[in-house]
Amino acid sequence: MPQYETIASVKLNRSERGWRIVQGKIVRIGNSRKSTWLNMEGGLGIRIDHKDASYFQGINLQGLKGKLVTARGWLYAHKGALRMRVRHPAALELE
């Protein structure tokens, strides 16, 4: 099934939705009022809510810039941009 195959973040189609495994390099890390954002090549934004931060203790999220990461979760669109919410480090594989 295609949704269980790893897809490169740069190959994501803007119309993609649903469960996906996406691999890409983190090109930018940002913080908003409610979340930390890991932005992959190709424009995918991975959102980690601050309320879930306790699950990520021991992972230096700021240190992921330039690293290859595989994320598993539900793709959705918000204001024309693809996003994926990650709630637990088991959904992230750090290369």
Closest CA to 53 of 27, 31, 80: 31
Residue 1 has pLDDT above 80, yes or no: no
Mean pLDDT of the chain: 92
Q: d(Cα 38, Cα 62) in Å, to the nearest integer?
A: 9
Q: Which residues lie closer than 8 Å to 63 by C-beta, 6 or more apart?
A: none
pTM, 2 dp: 0.90
Specify the residue for token string 């693809």: 82
Q: For the chain, what are the domain ranges?
A: 2-94
Express each pLDDT in 51-82 by its tens digit: 998 999 988 999 999 999 999 999 999 988 99
Residue 13 has pLDDT above 90, yes or no: no
Q: d(Cα 38, Cα 31) in Å, to the nearest integer?
A: 9
CA distances from 66 to 26, 63, 94 (A): 5, 8, 11
Residue 95 has pLDDT above 90, yes or no: no
Task: Quote the CATH superfamily of domain 2-94.
Answer: Nucleic acid-binding proteins (2.40.50.140)
